[in-house]
Structure 1
């Protein structure tokens, strides 16, 4: 005998673009809390703050406290935990366990909210802890880097690293809302500001040639730190990511993951570098590697390859690293990526700018050749 029932769950959340989220003139945060609260319960709030953000914005906690008091949100008392920023937040389970401990200590229940304020890694580990505690606590992400605002914080994935592998532990869980506050971008180191653009280039390359051309036009302004140019890029990148989540395979039941273009090697390079490479920098190198491979295989023409490299160079994004000469270790990333995909290797490559396709095997001698070519290549030297 089989008893069967079908049901559909509707997911919806919004990405808010605003400035100075915790000034009392800005109602965005309070509106989100009230619209997602049960009137019969008084929610508590737990703020998980990136240590880098806390250091650069020492006034942030007092601003949050004043805001919560002004709008009489929940218990009117804020619970705060500061965790290390950057990939070290995900490298072991210390930050994850400290968040779970805070959820327990401050009695954060399913009618309450966990609010992540930080870069992509802090959003990842906080989302993972919120998803597993009480089988799911409402999560609000306030990403503070260009990469987190246009990519890492706007999807449905959470996780931490384990067993020497990127995002080995994790969940799919939809946040209540994402709030992109442009204020936080102004205090970013230039290297971090620029690195996030690799994800915008990635999504443009696989989905939208017109967006790639627009990034080319904006490149001088982006390089110079222009806020308006960056906001335009982040917003368009976020739109394309959300379209993919809505129309594709949001919970990754299959093996095709176009948004992971350039990522099989990027994840490996991050770890090989001891996280000297920022995620965006590793993605830029991963894009360069896969595009060089696609060119050597005859998939991608010379003109397109040159445009891609020229844009990466214009934005001071790396396309080479001596780690690429460690080809045997690097290509172990293909095995790890296959495991992460569920056992079937699926690598997105380019036929042209804006046109991607999947391959299911990699010609390793050609990939070796591509990696060796890039390992010591100077941006001043043509690769083709």
Structure 2
């Protein structure tokens, strides 16, 4: 006997692009709370704040309290938890457990909201905790870095690292909303400002040659911290990411992961550097490595490879690192990436700017040569 069960769930959330989310004149946050609160319930709010954001925005918590007093009057409990920012937030379960303890201590239930304010790692770990507590608490993400606004915080994935592997523990869960507030980007260091652009370059390379050309045009302005140029880049990048999630394989049932272009080595390089390399910097190196390999294998033309490397260099993104010399350790990243994909290695490689093909085999000797070639290029002024 077989009883078939079948049902469909519709997912929906908005990504907002605004400034000054907690200005009392801005209704975005209060509208989200109102639209997603159950009738008759007075939700509690747990704000999980990246320590780096707290340092650069010391008035953030008072501003939130004032906003809630003015725009969300009534019986509303708001609590705050500050956790370390950066990839170290995901490296062990300290931050994750701290969030779970706060959820328990403050009686955050399924009618409540957890609001992650920070970089991609803080959004990841907060989302993971919000998903597993009570089988799911409503999550609002307010990403505060160029990388998180471009990529890390706008999708459906949450996770932390474990067993010496990136994102070994994780969930797929949609947020209630994502709020990209450009005001937070103003206080980023130049290094962090630039590193997030690598995710925009990534999605342009695999999906949209015109967007890549536009980033080339905007590169001088981006390097000079032009806010309009960055906002344009983030919006287009987010649009392409969201289109892929909706029209592709949102919960990654298959092994094809075009949005992970350049990431097999990026994840390994991050760990090898003890996270001294920022994620965006590691992705830039990973893309440069895969493009050099694709060129050596005859998939990608010389002109395209040169344009890609020149753009990365123009933006002061790294294309190489001394860690590339540890090729045996680096190439273990291929096997770890294969396990993460479900046991079948599937690597997207460019055939031209805006187009990629999946390969299921990497010639490790050629990849070693590509790594050496990149190191040589980074030490010279010639791409020949």
> Could you say which TM-score interval applies, normalised by the shorter chain?
over 0.9
- RMSD over aligned CA atoms reads 0.9
SS at match of 1:377: helix
Deviation at 1:379, TM superposition (A): 5.8
TM-score by length of 2: 0.99
Deviating above 6 A after TM superposition, structure 1's stretches of 4 or more consecutive aligned residues are none
Residue 148 of structure 1 contacts residue 154 of structure 1 at CA under 8 Å; is this kept in 2?
yes
Instruction: Name the CA distance, whole Å, in 2 between partners of 1:27 and 1:379.
Output: 51
After the TM superposition, which residues 23-42 of structure 1 pair with which residues of structure 2 at under 5 Å, given as runs?
23-42=23-42
Q: Which position in structure 2 is the counterpart of 1:166?
A: 166
Q: Which position in structure 1 is the counterpart of 2:261?
A: 261
Residue 43 of structure 1 contacts residue 113 of structure 1 at CA under 8 Å; is this kept in 2?
yes
Residue 42 of structure 2 contacts residue 76 of structure 2 at CA under 8 Å; is this kept in 1?
no
TM-score by length of 1: 0.99
After the TM superposition, which residues 1-384 of structure 1 pair with which residues of structure 2 at under 5 Å, given as runs?
1-72=1-72, 75-378=75-378, 380-384=380-384
SS at match of 1:25: coil
SS at match of 2:158: strand
Give unmatched runs, 5+ long, in structure 2.
Answer: none
Instruction: Name the CA distance, whole Å, in 2 between partners of 1:165 and 1:83.
Output: 21
Instruction: Name the CA distance, whole Å, in 2 between partners of 1:63 and 1:286.
Output: 40
Distance 1:191 1:305, change over 3 A: same
CA deviations over 1:293-342 (Å, ceiling 9, x no partner):
00000000000000001100110000010000000000000010000001
Residue 323 of structure 1 contacts residue 375 of structure 1 at CA under 8 Å; is this kept in 2?
no
Instruction: Name the CA distance, whole Å, in 2 between partners of 1:224 and 1:251.
Output: 37
Instruction: Name the CA distance, whole Å, in 1 between partners of 2:198 and 2:382.
Output: 21
SS at match of 2:377: coil
Instruction: Name the CA distance, whole Å, in 2 between partners of 1:66 and 1:208.
Output: 43
Deviation at 1:382, TM superposition (A): 2.5
Deviation at 1:94, TM superposition (A): 0.2
CA deviations over 1:9-47 (Å, ceiling 9, x no partner):
000000000000001000000000000000111100000
Residue 65 of structure 1 contacts residue 77 of structure 1 at CA under 8 Å; is this kept in 2?
no
Count of aligned residue pairs for this structure pair: 384
SS at match of 2:349: strand
Residue 113 of structure 2 contacts residue 140 of structure 2 at CA under 8 Å; is this kept in 1?
yes
SS at match of 1:79: strand
Instruction: Name the CA distance, whole Å, in 2 between partners of 1:246 and 1:9.
Output: 13
Residue 43 of structure 2 contacts residue 76 of structure 2 at CA under 8 Å; is this kept in 1?
no
Residue 46 of structure 1 contacts residue 113 of structure 1 at CA under 8 Å; is this kept in 2?
yes
